[in-house]
Structure 1
Amino acid sequence: MSEVSSIWVCPPHNALQAAREFLAANGVNYLLAQFVDLHGGIKSKSVPVECLQDLTTDGAGFAGGAILGFDMSPQDPEYMLVADLQTLTLLPWLPGYASVRGVGTVSGEAYEMDPRNVLAAQTERLAKRGWRLMTGLEPEFYLLRRDEDGSIKPFDSTDDMRQPTYDYRGITRNTAFLEGMHKSLKAVGLEVYQIDHEDANGQFEMNFKYDEAMQSADNITFFKMAAREIANNVGAIASFLPKLNANTTGNGMHVHCSLVDEQGTNLFNDDSDGNGMGLSKLAYHFIAGVMQHAHGLCALLCPSVNSYKRLMIGTAERPSWAPVFIAYGDNNRSAMVRIPYGRLEVRIGDSAMNPYLATAAIIAAGLDGIDRELQAPEPHSLNFYDMTLAQITEMGVERLPETLKDALDALASDQVLKDALGERLIGSFIKLKRDEWHEYHRTVSEWETERYLTFY
């Protein structure tokens, strides 16, 4: 008797029947039909497995007016999630369940406000040129617990070193969660190649193999769902909050990028690069586009009020590891774009970002650089943390927006990103985030009370 595989490979023909057999062999009774809202929050309906065919034709219906940022009203037609069987994935931590994603439609047409559709449109722009964007997303997250008094602390109570980076105890004392994550990701075909304790107490990074842009975005969404549920199963909280407190490093979500052709050749690689970074002219144009649109990109890659507490200037002794300056350089982690030879790593994003919108925006910015043949400035392979702000400004290097409001203002004036991702979607995103900004400013913090209670 052959062993049942937990990894789904969608065949080019008879996919529906093959899916039924795969689901039956793995004891699946329910499918979670999933999509994300503008925040990147995962939304689902549970669909009995016997309704699989309907899910691939009519889809699962949702009241669009209840979905954040989808710009729909109670009287509008339903938002329908039509399943794409290529995305079928078991949920190893939840026996009897699988997830599926697809195309969000309204009145039979792909809906312009669906973030996955937005990324699909940008990858199609690449496909017309015979290109694909390969991305590797590196998720950082906190593993926490809530004490009886309501305070938030690292899940491992002994994780209290001032500099816990790479400490072996971070791995050995959290094996129930980390091994659960690894086994679940491996079971569905995600190749985890390293797990480490990061710079903050309770902070981890788990890296898995790169893939095509859409698949990577699907994978990171699956990863976040898995992390939350497996953490919950061991009594912990997996948090993708960008910045937990002022004294710790934040949760970044770095995006490694390379354009490849139909044969899989890396179009960003050129060993004759005079700068010694292995980059082609195409790569330099792409970098120039990303830098040109850095301010607007920041709103989509760093989408919360809290994000900008991560984008702070560090010091050489205690760097923030979050880039603040619009620059690039050879293996330079203090710049917005790091070059690990022959590809680029966009380092500004954090773990709160919607991976579909963020990746779509990076493609749009990069293509603008390519189409207009924008010239990247000279690379800076130096440590910006060693320099004063005045010195950096003298070099002509700008800094990223300091607040969500500044980033939103930049996005609102970036016509290239608005045209690429859609005026309506960007308008809804900006409204959603400006509401968040205003709500934040109406909140009186503990810091304000302590500072001003008897100050005046």
Structure 2
Amino acid sequence: MSDGNLTTAEQDVLDQIESKGVDFLRLQFTDILGTVKNVSVPARQAEKAFTEGIYFDGSSIEGFVRIQESDMRLKPDPETFAVLPWRDKEDSAAARMICDVIDTSTGEPFEGDPRYVLKQALDRANEMGYTVNAAPEPEFFLFEEDEDGHATTETNDHGGYFDLAPKDLAQDVRRDIIYGLEDMGFEVEASHHEVAQGQHEINFEYDDALTTADNVGTFRTVVRAIAAQHGYHATFMPKPIPKVNGSGMHTHISLFTEDGENAFHDEDDEFNLSDEAHAFTAGVLEHAPAITAVANPTVNSYKRLVPGYEAPVYVAWSDRNRSALIRKPAARVPAASRVELRSPDPSCNPYLAIATMIHAGLDGIENDLECPDPVRENIYDFDEQKREEYGIETLPSNLGAAVDALEEDEVVYDALGEHIAEKFVEAKRQEFEEYLIDVSDWELERYLEKY
């Protein structure tokens, strides 16, 4: 029982801990690179976590703080409480809560917390009279493990897009993942086999942007854990197999007004998009190169962003085809009007990626940027001259170029906040430099005996 200083939501968590026999709590947060971290505490510490917070050493977390500034405090969000679904029934139950990170020296939110960065983007939207909804479509591969339990790149099946058994051998795995997600409060809309062998997609219902970003981290954790129970390794690496489609995380975004109306819908517009939607789209297109550094944050991301494998590389929008960077999906009802950014991949930090999209789009609205005409032809079929005629730019071709674009873009750089922007750029420049000096197997096979 509590001492009476808890909110209703916090007290509800304590009641659930008791009724569901939860013995341990995993207090989760995300580092700058998007890796989910957790501090495990006995469930009896839940009330203390709410009233005092749980302290940890921030200097041990990638990009957080230096050793002399190490004390951080986790503040659990009671709305994120969920019992973990992959524990055996006879074992004691464990649950998780997602936390905000507090700087103990000031008592204020830590500026290096990615969740705080997204909250600031949502505050900006609120000041402009909007709430933000988002829905991602994260794809992943299932691979066999070797006899030592290490991941291989041998796919678990030979299925293709929307295939059924016997080619799609992962139906049981996807089913168990869906059950696990639903146990944790997800509304799963659909699941299917993707284009490449061993590649899968599970779509969950759109929600407010903060809940959506929380859900992406939870989704990746659940998929990996349940795949492992089946003896498979699940990876969200964008391009684990050469010469096949990579994994994306197409992200749908819409703005709603204070009275609950979809600010992106206009019945009288040719594309059923409002002026705000057109300006938002223009803002995202304007800042797309810089967003790419955050939404496609690994060296491997740029092995996916190449023509010919259904990944968008051209800065344009369309209401019809999927070769453009932004697509306006068909909407059955006005509330479903939205735009879809197709470039992000599931290796990104969802808080930072969604925050940069929001800031870029709001910049378009604030500055009344003019949206170019949609490109209804297949841009993959355009040659360079035709792309120039249409004024279509190309996304950065590698991580180094994307980081350059990020540093040159004041809107997107500032969206991250000085702390995260500086640490992110530093980490990604180091990653790209290490990649440049490495010698790959491809190079050895091609050149070692030839020269």
TM-score under structure 1 length normalisation = 0.92
* Partner deviation per Cα, 1:307-349 (whole Å, 9 max, x = no partner): 00000011xxxxx111010000103211000001431000010
Pairing 1:150-299 to 2, within 5 Å after superposition = 152-156=152-156, 159-160=157-158, 164-169=160-165, 173-273=169-269, 276-299=270-293
* Partner deviation per Cα, 1:128-167 (whole Å, 9 max, x = no partner): 23311100110100011133597723452xx236xx1111
Which of 60, 63, 83 lines up with 1:90 in the alignment? Answer: 83
Work out the number of aligned pairs and report it: 433
Pairing 1:317-336 to 2, within 5 Å after superposition = 320-336=309-325
C-alpha spacing 1:301/1:170, structure 2 compared with 1 (3 Å): farther
Are 1:171 and 1:197, in contact at CA under 8 Å, matched by a contact in 2?
Answer: no
Q: Residue type matched to 1:132 in 2?
A: T
Are 1:277 and 1:340, in contact at CA under 8 Å, matched by a contact in 2?
Answer: no
* Partner deviation per Cα, 1:162-219 (whole Å, 9 max, x = no partner): xx11111278522331111111111222111111110111000000100000000011
Which of 400, 404, 411 lines up with 1:409 in the alignment? Answer: 404
Give the distance between the partners of 2:227 and 2:45, measured in 1 at CA: 31
Measured after TM superposition, the shift of residue 61 of structure 1 is 2.0
Give the distance between the partners of 1:336 and 1:155, measured in 2 at CA: 29
Secondary structure, counterpart of 2:39 in structure 1: strand
Pairing 1:440-451 to 2, within 5 Å after superposition = 440-451=435-446
C-alpha spacing 1:99/1:344, structure 2 compared with 1 (3 Å): same
Q: Residue type matched to 1:91 in 2?
A: L
Same amino acid, percent of matched pairs: 40
Are 1:327 and 1:379, in contact at CA under 8 Å, matched by a contact in 2?
Answer: yes
Measured after TM superposition, the shift of residue 103 of structure 1 is 1.6
Give the distance between the partners of 1:171 and 1:209, measured in 2 at CA: 27
Match for residue 376 of structure 1? Answer: 371
TM-score under structure 2 length normalisation = 0.93
Secondary structure, counterpart of 2:394 in structure 1: coil
Give the distance between the partners of 1:19 and 1:289, measured in 2 at CA: 41
Secondary structure, counterpart of 1:101 in structure 2: strand
Q: Residue type matched to 2:438 in 1?
A: T
Within the alignment, does 1:454 sit opposite 2:443 as a pair?
A: no
Are 1:170 and 1:197, in contact at CA under 8 Å, matched by a contact in 2?
Answer: no
Are 1:193 and 1:209, in contact at CA under 8 Å, matched by a contact in 2?
Answer: yes
Q: Residue type matched to 1:54 in 2?
A: K
Are 2:33 and 2:62, in contact at CA under 8 Å, matched by a contact in 1?
Answer: yes
Unpaired segments ≥5 residues, structure 1: 1-11, 315-319
Secondary structure, counterpart of 1:29 in structure 2: strand
Match for residue 50 of structure 1? Answer: 44
Secondary structure, counterpart of 1:168 in structure 2: coil
* Partner deviation per Cα, 1:17-51 (whole Å, 9 max, x = no partner): 22111111111111100001111100001111111
Unpaired segments ≥5 residues, structure 2: 1-5, 331-336
Match for residue 73 of structure 1? Answer: 66
Give the distance between the partners of 1:44 and 1:377, measured in 2 at CA: 44
Q: Residue type matched to 2:244 in 1?
A: T
Are 2:305 and 2:397, in contact at CA under 8 Å, matched by a contact in 1?
Answer: yes
Q: Residue type matched to 2:41 in 1?
A: V
Secondary structure, counterpart of 1:52 in structure 2: helix
CA-based RMSD of the aligned residues comes to: 1.7
Pairing 1:107-186 to 2, within 5 Å after superposition = 107=104, 108-148=107-147, 152-156=152-156, 159-160=157-158, 164-169=160-165, 173-186=169-182
Secondary structure, counterpart of 2:405 in structure 1: helix
